[in-house]
Structure 1
Amino acid sequence: MSDHATDPATEAFVAHRNLLFTVAYEMLGSAADAEDVLQETWLRWVEVDLGQVRDQRAYLVRITTRQALNRLRTLTRRKEAYVGPWLPEPLLTAPDVAQDVELAESVSMALMLVLETLSPTERAVFVLREVFEVDYDEIAAAVDKTPAAVRQIAHRARRHVDARRPRAAVSASATRAALESFQRALATGDLQGFLDVLAPEVVLVSDGGGVKQAAPRPVVGADKVARFIVGGTGKLEATLTTGLTVVNGNPALVLRLDGEIDGVMAIRVEDARITGLYYVRNPEKLTRVESETPLTLR
């Protein structure tokens, strides 16, 4: 697409591009795949007779959803062959994403992982209804189901997600405080410092994608997680540094070895303690942690 194009199809697509990317990313957990979906959406959009389109935004979301569903089914097969645990691709986000509580929660690593446990259709329905507040008739058209079926799917998906999401919303300041405590323990290798900030049931998930070393399965329990981290950092021959950042609308850490990005650590906090640690080391998933990705619900 030319930057100088002014035809109605291009104007409509550009106006809603950030929204469409957010829809695709929340469905897929992958920025690269979301970009591919947007390209496919564009190719179909330019073939549409705009004179027959009543609501361009809704129509574009419908196309994007259909393409994302197709891609999601492919991704499901790809993840079955993935080496070790799979985590969503982290995105460096602008301050306005963090300030939008609903958006920040919807793209948080913790909730994105919960969405991974839904079927492709359930995920599409949940994202469109609960996150973007699309009406049932529009969702039905996007997923090729009846409105009545969509209502049932939405209810089932909501119940599934509610049972697995954090019990109460946590402020960014509370998350940052827990993260700073974790950062201090990481800097000193203080086992007790980790135990003070980690919840007894904490789970550490690390994603190396078979390229970087990572735990082959989740590590569960404060003592095991703390010892795993202390043991791992104690073997490093490079200098480890950490920096606070905002990933997926929430406070996170960027870890560097001798100045080079090694990974991104996102967390889940409940009752002022960390219940989830999500460490992405796969280099293919670290391409969007140095420049901001715009996200929006509107």
Structure 2
Amino acid sequence: MGTRTSQRTRSRKYNVRESIAGYLFISPWIAGLLIFTVISMGWSLVLSFQNYDLATGASSPAGFENYRLLAEDPNVLGSLGNTFVYALMAVPLDIAFALLLASLLNGVKRGSGFFRLVYYLPKMTPGVATAAVFLLLLNGNSGAINNFLGLFGIAGPQWLSDPVWMKPSIVLMSLWGVGGTTVILLAALQAVPKELYEAAATDGASRRQQFFYITIPMISPTLFFLVIVNTIAALQIFDQAYLLFYRDGNSSVPDAARFYGVYLYQQAFQHFNFGPAAAMAWLLFVIIMVITVVQIRVGNRLVHYEGGDRP
């Protein structure tokens, strides 16, 4: 009896030491989460109800005045519209292109690791370097894309100055970084049981039928996850638009290139309207929350879960 009790005591002490060690290892992440996320979000919420003067550090209550200003500012609605249009264009194209690449990689027998590395490397490229490359590619007069189209007698558009083509140009730039989505989809494709394809082929199912009736349902949880994550990222677009159109500090670009994140940045760090900028941030937070809840409600009805279990 005494031996068993001492064993339980040693086991309990060991578990406590393991827990302490684990928390010590993740303490930098916890500190970063608290300082840069939780505390920052709380302060921005307080700031959205105040008039804040950066020069003096003084603040005064503003009530809902900052939110009322957002409702009266046409640029807020216009930038939201641009952001929604971009998200509707970018998210389906990103996932479709990544699924195409993942399907090709899934069929590679030799050198698959090399190709996975090649497709993922652009994701690791700094945004400034990527923007510099696409500034050369999308130049309307001497860009590589228009030069290529000229070989076929096609006059390429002014990608970076024509309001019609500004959002498609950013979508093209976003396709450069689909490596992360590709790797996730590749893992999902490789997890599909091969027996399902063998049984379908025995029954005479074509490759197209196998893709739509086996592959898509089996990877639908992954697709569902990617739609939510990519939608959140698309609604927060900032760096691509800023680097392409505002790189020289020019604030007189066409309205078609004014995205919500860029306009929020201008309000906060160019005009120093921190109260309205904080209100814009929380408005975007609420919009993303609502869209995510709708996606979850709709997606749970369409996604195939093994065993019929739903989250």
Q: So what's the TM-score if we normalise by structure 1?
A: 0.24
Q: Which has the higher strand share?
A: 1
Point out the structure with max Rg over C-alpha. 2
Q: So what's the TM-score if we normalise by structure 2?
A: 0.23
Q: Which has the higher helix share?
A: 2
